[in-house]
Structure 1
Amino acid sequence: MALIVLWDIDHTLIDNAGVSKEIYATAYETVTGRAPERAAVTEGRTDRLIMQEMFRRNGVTMPPWRGIEAALMDAGAQRRGALRERGRVLPGVHDVLKATAAEPSWVSSVLTGNIAANARVKLGAFGLDSLVDLAVGAYGADADDRPHLVDVARRRIEAQHRVPAGTPIVLVGDTPRDVEAALASSARIIAVATGVDTSAALTAAGATVVLPDLAETDHVLRLLEDFQRI
């Protein structure tokens, strides 16, 4: 039986060491001509909502998305080196991505609030981009709200990989918004307490499986196999 596994990126696969907020600030300055007085608030939001909130918090009318996305792409490309120098891959991530990619009936991709270009930058900085199928992922420009990204990824995967309709989907993420996206879309969730949210907060959001990290590859694979059989 097939299985779809969708990984969040920031604080699930990598620690971006503050580079993400620098990207948002630079994109804002590119578009407006001045640095933001109030920083971006992320908390598992999509890039669309992060930038929308950033403009609102700074009292500026949000311009068309096309220009904002281009500015985000440029800012992300500029900070690839900084990300590699200051960021890190979180425990167990390389091994679990490699093991998941090796399962012949599984499709492993991403569901992230980042725009596609910056998702590639972040994973590519640490050599993780070849371990997931980024062509069928769901990204921060695809929808405002995270739950809608699940359907985006599902459609892309069903079209390109011809997996059967109704194939189980598992999200792996570190915020209550990841949990919300799973619950709202009938996906399964593996929550990891590798971000700012505690295990208790993730459980309170509705996650029934909460791990301290992804360090125990065999355990993560067993959980995925269990979800596959449900």
Structure 2
Amino acid sequence: MELIVLWDIDHTLIENAGVSKEIYAAAFSSLAGHEPSGPARTEGRTDRLIMRDMFLREGLPVPKWSVIEDALTRAGHDRLGDLRSRGTALPGVHEVLKAASARNGWVSSVLTGNIAANARVKLSVFGLDSLLDLPVGAYGADAELRPGLVAVARERMRRLRGVPADVPAVLVGDTPRDVEAALATGSGMLAVASGVHSSEELAAAGAHEILPGLSDTRRVLGILESFRGA
């Protein structure tokens, strides 16, 4: 294998149109018995941190993670229709994922703060799931902090696909936390200013390769290729 590519989902591959925060609010409400006083704080954090923060902000004990994950799974499934009607795959995403999946020696998967069930919901709604090697990705239940997800994905790739430990990895994401995860793990980083963070914010976080989005397939693949063997 020559390159590992790990894609963020929300605001990198898809626009969820607020459905993600509705999922968190619904999961919280089902466990707490009332709506949260404010929206979930996301910005590239994992579901473990997002949900824990919601309970702590309300002065409530944090339920066991398995209970929270079940609530998130139900809430995500219940809002599949909302995501389909209001959300969208971002420009160029189908094309670039298809091209990456066809590259010989590349493993293209996800590194996301979403739990696996909701990641699959979000990707399948827009026909992206078949273009990614999802079993070897890393998800919001796998670690509290985003840098820890890189090791999870690498271990799954080693175990399930035989990917050697020295194969370079590159992350593609839209938040400073994506950049932090890449820098902390010695991974490459392609930042996209397709979310709430500007190119200037992503550069200040340490990203050197920054695009406005993923619409230029040739350019995206060229940047990813530059990390091969780095």
Tell me the TM-score normalized by structure 2: 0.99
d(CA) in 2 for partners of 1:159, 1:104: 19
**Partner residue in 1 for 2:56:** 56
5+ residue gaps, structure 2: none
d(CA) in 2 for partners of 1:134, 1:119: 9
The DSSP-based 3-state class of the residue aligned with 1:229 is coil
**Partner residue in 2 for 1:194:** 194
**Partner residue in 1 for 2:131:** 131
**Partner residue in 2 for 1:4:** 4
Post-superposition offset of 1:37? 1.2
**Partner residue in 2 for 1:181:** 181
Post-superposition offset of 1:90? 0.6
**Partner residue in 2 for 1:94:** 94
5+ residue gaps, structure 1: none
CA RMSD of aligned residues (A): 0.7
Give a deviation string over 1:170-201, Cα, whole Å, max 9, x none. Answer: 00000000000000000000000000000000
The DSSP-based 3-state class of the residue aligned with 2:6 is strand
Residue 229 in structure 1 maps to residue 229 in structure 2: yes
**Partner residue in 1 for 2:103:** 103
Post-superposition offset of 1:59? 1.5
Aligned length: 230
Give a deviation string over 1:40-63, Cα, whole Å, max 9, x none. Answer: 100110000000111111121111
Counterpart of 2:135, as a letter, is A
**Partner residue in 1 for 2:165:** 165
Counterpart of 1:30, as a letter, is S
**Partner residue in 2 for 1:82:** 82
Post-superposition offset of 1:18? 0.1
d(CA) in 1 for partners of 2:21, 2:190: 25
Give a deviation string over 1:154-181, Cα, whole Å, max 9, x none. Answer: 0001111112221000000000000000
Counterpart of 1:44, as a letter, is G
**Partner residue in 1 for 2:38:** 38
Residue 67 in structure 1 maps to residue 82 in structure 2: no
Post-superposition offset of 1:229? 3.3
d(CA) in 1 for partners of 2:229, 2:177: 25
Counterpart of 1:88, as a letter, is T
d(CA) in 1 for partners of 2:39, 2:174: 21
Q: Percent identity?
A: 63
Give a deviation string over 1:91-117, Cα, whole Å, max 9, x none. Answer: 110000000000120000000000000
Task: Indicate conservation of the 8 Å contact 1:38/1:58, yes or no.
Answer: no
Counterpart of 2:11, as a letter, is H
